Amino acid sequence: MSEDIEKKLETIPKAIFFDEKEDRFFILDQTKLPVEEVIEEQKDLNQVYDSIYMLKVRGAPAIGIAGAYGLLISLKEHIDRPLDEFIKIVEQNAEYLNSSRPTAVNLSWALNKLSKIAKNFPKSSSSKELYKAIRDEAIAIHKSDIKTCREIGENGAELIKEGFGVLTLCNAGALATGGIGTALAPMYVAWSKGVRFKAYSSETRPLLQGARITCWELNKFGVDTTMIADSVSSYLMKLGKVDMIVVGADRVANNGDTANKIGTLSLAVNAKHYGIPFYIACPYSTIDVDTKTGDGIVVEERGAQELIYIKGQQIAPKDIKVFNPAFDVTDNSLISGFITEKGIIRAPYDFSKSAKSE
């Protein structure tokens, strides 16, 4: 990649900041986008829990990184305690943060890594030494995600051809990760290399991550982006405007069944009908080989108020019954391939054969 392209990719906005000098952790509050860009320091465990639950920080890889830094900053005030007490606090705080959102596996993946370090730490060491080991691992998780996103971008960019229409849902961009995103990474890399295509961003009701975040990110970078209402996607395909669909993932089962933002399944079913390639872009940290099929994935259900109100404005009867799953699970048979840091993986899927051991 040329220096110019590298420089351009560095201008993509970031979701998470860690000040290594003072061990301070900040996030871009995504609930305020695109109207305001507010960076908020995260100072304690409950604040981090709420930020993840309220989607101030969101997207599977980003909540894994936020969970890791959140755990770290929650330990600062306990650093002078005896090691056995400190280890218990690590485990309790990790468990608490992990309960903030159930579907994205990256959160438990990152927190389990840190808990394991605590559990296996030499008993002759100090709490300060354990704090440092957890700090090093949290930073490593963040840095490795930056690299992984770039690799996903390079691998997926090959699929985007001049003149393509590329449809995405929700936000699997830079703001959902530590780096340049998963589903949007191939778009950023292809665009930087001079490939001209049209991106379509589905608005993503009810929380509008597509409208508020994906459109903002892509537009800022200069990608030719058109927003559609979610209900337009099948018509867009029928009109022949979509050559490829690429979305992210919150948890991929060992057989390739994939949990992602609600609406992903309808896109995949429609893509099959119209013969359009349907890709999932995700890092291996989103692949959960211990969950054999999609039936084992817990889908987060969120409150009725997210559908009854838009930005505080009531749009439906207050007492209406609401079903509000945040995710759905797409059958592996509808997926053309997984764009990962290790390349494009195609069926038959059995990720236990290629997953990292950690």
Which residues make up the interface to ligand MRU (CB under 6 A)? 55, 58-61, 104, 170, 172, 176-177, 182, 209, 247-250, 260-261, 326
Catalytic residue among 250, 257, 288, 328: 250
Nearer to ligand MRU, 75 or 184 (CB): 184
Nearer to ligand MRU, 223 or 247 (CB): 247
Least CB distance from residue 328 to ligand MRU, whole Å? Answer: 10
Least CB distance from residue 150 to ligand MRU, whole Å? Answer: 14
Nearer to ligand MRU, 130 or 246 (CB): 246
Is 250 assigned a catalytic role? yes
Least CB distance from residue 323 to ligand MRU, whole Å? Answer: 16
Nearer to ligand MRU, 29 or 250 (CB): 250
Q: Which residue is nearest to ligand MRU (CB)?
A: 248
Least CB distance from residue 104 to ligand MRU, whole Å? Answer: 6
Nearer to ligand MRU, 105 or 190 (CB): 105
Secondary structure in 3-state letters for the chain? CCHHHHHHHCCCCCCEEEECCCCEEEEECHHHCCCCCCEEEECCHHHHHHHHHCCCCCCHHHHHHHHHHHHHHHHHHHCCCCHHHHHHHHHHHHHHHHCCCCCCHHHHHHHHHHHHHHHCCCCCCCHHHHHHHHHHHHHHHHHHHHHHHHHHHHHHHCCCCCCCEEEEECCCCHHHCCCCCCCCHHHHHHHHCCCCCEEEEECCCCCCHHHHHHHHHHHHHCCCEEEECHHHHHHHHHCCCCCEEEECCCEEECCCCEEEECCHHHHHHHHHHHCCCEEEECCHHHEECCCCCHHHCCCCECCCHHHHEECCEECCCCCCCCCCECEEEECHHHCCEEEECCEEECCCCCHHHCCCCC
Least CB distance from residue 344 to ligand MRU, whole Å? Answer: 17
Catalytic residues: 250
